[in-house]
Structure 1
Amino acid sequence: MDNPNDRVERLLALILLNQMKGESQRDKAVQLNLAGFSNLEIANILETNSAVIAQVLYEAKKNKVTKKANKKTSAK
């Protein structure tokens, strides 16, 4: 039987995903990552593999850094 904490975490993840209907896999993965889920857990929830999630999160982080750099450059 599942650990009760695992069930609670899974239910919270499902609630989060329900609120994000229509959002991209990238946005869902980022939010689940921010909630503390591992790449493997996110992959299981989104029915993909952890390599895809790792790449999605890497690109999201890279784009965030690029946007910050562009804002600093344009502010000068």
Structure 2
Amino acid sequence: WLALAALAHNLTRAAGTLAGTFHARATTATIRDHLITVPARLARSARRLTLHLPERWPWSTDFTQLFSIVHTPPAL
């Protein structure tokens, strides 16, 4: 259990670092509240999944930056 807790902590801190400068210095609880617990709606249409984020969500730019960094293809 200790190894799993350490892995979850390290992944959360890495996500915070990729999201932006504010989340790079934030606590793990803040990262969890802002980026992991996302108030979004998942919709399916024509076998494609679409994530609908709130319109005036204050951390949408940080979440979008994290999402684009994680989902870009690797450079060759």
TM-score by length of 1: 0.30
More helix as a share of residues: 1
More strand as a share of residues: 2
Q: Which has the larger radius of gyration?
A: 1
